[in-house]
Amino acid sequence: MKMVSYLVRHHLKMELRSLHNVMSLVIFALASTYTALQVLGGKPDPTTWNALAWIILMFTAFNSASRVLPEDLTAVRAYMHWTVPPRVMIIARTLHQSIIMIILSCLLLFALGLFLGSGNMDTLSIFGFLAGMILTAVGLASTLTLLSALSARAGAGYGLTAVLGLPLIIPIVMISTSFGTDLVTGVALGQTVQNLYYLGGLSIAIGIYGYILFPYLWRS
């Protein structure tokens, strides 16, 4: 765990040194939300608001996964191949991407509230929606981190991540949109909380899958 903690801190320090990479994701989320406001000409109905929230989050996740990390470079990867255990590497990368996506999810929900309103949700529903966004962000980060590592190993670039990622995230997106639709249409959080359990279970399952699969990819 010490090595995982060290690698996560290292990744976050690298993010701070090249802050423009993270800021580009923030600007994308904010610009997308403001563009939606201009296109719609005002605050949308709750169902449209919900769809926009998940669409913007999904594409923000893909933009985050498309970034080139230092260990994706051939020379660095060759060095880390012999110095870092593969399971430590995938855990650290997943945690790093999850932290970035959680921060972006919070900023996105703030931007949605600022520009497009709260989708007629009360305070409890807003916090429930934020919990759903965070769990969705973790699930997307887990999936796309594994796929981006696969793409980097295959030398296929971002295209392979997008092609493989879209089908794999469909279950996450379907549960998320169902959960969000319930909240914005007035369903009590307690009556739709099972969707949070599903999202949490999916995130854990994807993380375990990457933990098992990545060492074989790392050796090849």
Output the pLDDT for position 128: 92
Closest CA to 133 of 161, 110, 167, 102: 102
Each of the 220 residues of the chain gets a pLDDT tens digit; together they read: 788 888 888 778 877 777 777 888 889 889 999 888 888 887 888 899 999 999 999 989 888 877 766 666 666 666 666 677 878 888 888 898 999 999 999 999 999 988 888 877 888 999 999 999 999 999 999 888 888 877 766 665 666 677 777 778 888 989 999 999 999 988 888 899 999 999 999 889 888 888 888 877 766 5
Type of residue numbered 149: A
Output the pLDDT for position 138: 93
Output the pLDDT for position 25: 86
In terms of phi and psi (left: phi > 0; alpha: psi -120 to 50; beta: otherwise), the region of 85 is beta
Output the pLDDT for position 175: 93
Burial 117-128 (b: 16+ CB within 10 A, else e): ebbebeeebbeb
| Residue with the two structure tokens 């399971």 | 87
What are the distances in angstroms from CA 63 to CA 52, 55, 210? 16, 12, 20
What are the distances in angstroms from CA 129 to CA 58, 69, 212? 15, 30, 31
